[in-house]
Amino acid sequence: MALRRLAGWAVAWLLLGFNVAAGQKCPSPQLADFGNREVQKRDYDLWLEVDRIARMPDAQRAVQIPHVYRDIFADLHQRFYALDNWMIFPPRLEGYRESKVPEQRAKVGLSFGYPNMFAQGISLMLFIGYPHQTEPLILQDLRSADPGAIARGLNVSGGMRESVLPGLFDDLQRISFSDGQCSDEALRTLVGYCVRRSAYLVLSNKGESFTPSSKALGLIPLLVPRFQKEPQRYVGALMELLPYAAAPKELLADLNSWWNTNLRLYALDALSASRDLLPTAYVIKLAGDRDPKMRGWSITLGFQKRRQDFDQLKPALAKLLEDPEWEVRRSAALQFAAQQDPICAATLLQLLKEVYRTGQSGDFYQFASEADYIAHQKFGFDPGTGPVPLHNKQNDVALKSYASWVQSRN
């Protein structure tokens, strides 16, 4: 569950345009020079040093946190090796002393950026494992006038949780709403700090419920007016917070902003994640909207698994199987097919014929798989896993077989 939400969070912020204005970019790691042996040697030595500290007894490790923060991590996090340190995740603190030492790992050969990546991960592991020793160091950075220090403090704060270190909240909020150089990064960090439980060191018990703090949920009314001015910038934060709160009335009102399609679309993005489901009547209204994007949203909302009103929505959603827009028909057909509902059989046949004619192999194999699924049988479509061309006798026969099955249902 934690990883699913982590993925959802990443997509929301990256794909929905978590952007900063030109000239307001927060300092970020610089692309490292693969040919700089001196820097690579320093990265390797820092890896050895932080690994040595991580193997110390607990009390000694705790004393070393300021050294790791100021001297090791402060150096490492300034560099980024493209394709090498692509996944900086902290390992598990428990049992780390029994893991392989760097010299053993280096024997098998390492890409140039791996020592940097491993050393950053170990540093973050120590910060998360010793939060109270790390907190004053983070706060010093967050309160600095140096954007580079602020960026470092945000980087480390990203691994912390409000339930463990509530003292970071006010400074993260202050930077988030300052409209300063690092405000967007701070907001992303703040939201994660409030709502994401650690996916690395502390695994939540199955079935355990989670509710963010009242301070975290208090961010929603502060974000809404900003969202209404810059919806693309703030939609990601609202999508992370709204699963734990009632839908704000102001956002519900934005759904009726017929004159502002952009705001309306982003309001749908945000409210689709809300604890409160949008009313049945509104989803039906969307299904009849003249804007195909809105009709597409009716499919997204109408097929939400947590809805209890699908029987009321189905007639309106079924009409979209004959929508004039190809993408809307495709979305409706795939959603009904996922429910193994043969109501989409004729639409799937039309889509199959169209993509077979135009040579869209990806869609063809997906539609063919769904055709087998809704009919509870195999029509003999080529699985598309080999070097066989899309247009072949096997697919010709299978398409005719499926067409006969569809006709037999009428």
pLDDT computed for residue 18 by the predictor: 40
Does 231 fall in a domain?
no
Is residue 171 a part of any domain in this protein? yes
Same domain, 168 and 181: yes
Q: Are residues 356 and 321 in the same domain?
A: no
Structure tokens at 322: 């004959």
| Tokens, residue 389 | 């061309």
* Contact in structure between 333 and 347 (CB atoms under 8 Å): yes
**26 and 90, same domain (yes or no):** yes
Statement to judge: residues 154 and 70 lie in one domain: yes
The dihedral sign for the CA sequence 125, 129, 131, 133: negative
Domain membership flag for residue 250: no
Largest distance between two CA atoms of the chain: 77
Residues 333 and 360 reside in one and the same domain: no
Looking at the fold, whether 119 and 170 belong to one and the same domain comes out as yes
**Residues of the chain falling short of pLDDT 70:** 1-24, 85-86, 197-208
291 and 167 within one domain? no
Tokens 């997906």 -> residue = 366
**pLDDT for the residue numbered 10:** 43
Supply the pLDDT for residue 96.
Answer: 94
**Token representation of residue 3:** 């990883």
| Residue 114, domain member (yes or no) | yes
Confidence at residue 21, expressed as pLDDT on a 0 to 100 scale: 41
Question: What amino acid is encoded at 268 in this protein?
Answer: L
pLDDT at 197: 63
Domain annotation covers residue 124: yes
pLDDT of residue 19: 42
What local confidence, expressed as pLDDT, does residue 258 receive?
A: 76
Distance between CA atoms of 175 and 92, rounded to whole angstroms?
Answer: 30
370: containing domain: 340-410
Tell me, yes or no, whether 158 lies in a domain.
yes
Considering the domain boundaries, does residue 105 fall inside one?
Answer: yes
- Give me the pLDDT at residue 105, please: 84
- Assess whether 189 and 42 both reside in one domain: yes
Helix axes 114-129, 37-54, angle to 10 degrees: 30
Asked whether residue 355 falls in the same domain as residue 312, the answer is no
H-state helical runs in 273-378: 280-287, 292-302, 310-319, 326-338, 345-358, 361-375
332 & 352 share domain: no
The pLDDT assigned to 24 comes to: 62
Indicate yes or no: pTM above 0.85. Answer: no
Give the number of other Cβ atoms within 10 Å of residue 385's Cβ: 7
* Domains held by the chain: number: 3
Minimal CA–CA distance to 195: which of 266, 244, 151, 232?
Answer: 244
